Amino acid sequence: MTHEARRMTRKSDQTRRRILDAAAATLANRGYAETSIKAIADAVDMKDGSLYYHFESKDALVLEVLRLGTTLAEAAVAEALNGLGDDPDPMEALRTAIVAHASAVLGMGDYPRANVRNFGQLPAAIANAHMVHQQRYGDLWRGLLRAAAASGHLRPDVDAGAMRLLILGALNWAPEWYRPDGGLDPDRIGEQMAAMVLDGLRSARHEGR
């Protein structure tokens, strides 16, 4: 590759990123059905045909947005867990992961939001191709709950698998109703969720399980 080629490539990478950003925004705000190549091209001031220089198909573009979204969320949660040091309290780890995931889907911009909003609305081809990434993130959560259960911190009468899916469901649904302007910020949502999940809604003075 020549000097020019290398510099050009850098510029091409920037354009590529702008396209991805626009696609993520449209996917997050309007959903897959309304995300047309033309809409994305308009957002980056291009003709729709030109996008095919950067991506070989719409599916490839969407898939990369989703992959980046999962990667971002996973990295955020993993980093938050790392901050707890070695061998943390399992319930504290769970709380941390809940807050970090809430922050990711509500406060980290379009990529994670595009991810959760379009989960399940995608054509089978895209959904299947993306499942492998989602799977790895799921494993992280499976590990958290398994650790909590194994150490006896988890109530014995609950199903860890169902808990994982219900918790992530509540958080993944949150972008549907969350509005950044009013009331609670993403971290507070996560803390509220963690409070409910870990200790329940029942007030101490009426306690009596």
Partner DNA sequence: GCCGGTTTCTAGTAGAGACTAGAAAGCATT
Partner DNA sequence: AATGCTTTCTAGTCTCTACTAGAAACCGGC
Q: Which spans of this chain sit near its own copies (rule: CB under 8 A)?
A: 31-34, 91, 94, 117, 119-121, 123, 148, 152-159, 161-163, 165-174, 176-177, 183-184, 189, 192-193, 195-206, 209
Compute how many other C-beta atoms are within 10 angstroms of the C-beta atom of residue 118.
Answer: 22
Task: Name every residue whose Cβ is closer than 8 Å to that of residue 51 and which is 6 or more positions away in sequence.
Answer: 19, 37, 40, 41, 61
The smaller minimum CB distance to DNA, of residues 4 and 86, is found at: 4
Measured CA to CA, the distance from residue 83 to residue 89 in angstroms comes to 12
Query: Quick one: what does residue 59 bind among DNA, its own copies, none, with the CB cut-off 5 to 8 Å set by partner type?
Result: DNA
The smaller minimum CB distance to its own copies, of residues 71 and 192, is found at: 192
Residue 179 token pair: 């509005």
Smallest gap from residue 102 Cβ to its own copies (A): 10
Lay out the site mask for DNA across 30-49 (x = CB under 7 A, - = otherwise): -----xxxxx-----xxxxx
Residue 41 token pair: 């091209």
Measured CA to CA, the distance from residue 173 to residue 13 in angstroms comes to 32
Smallest gap from residue 124 Cβ to DNA (A): 14
**CA-based torsion, 43, 49, 54, 58: positive or negative:** positive
The smaller minimum CB distance to its own copies, of residues 16 and 84, is found at: 84
The phi, psi pair for 200, rounded to 5°, reads 85, 165
Binding site for DNA (CB under 7 A): 1-5, 7-9, 11-12, 15, 35-39, 45-50, 52-54, 56-59
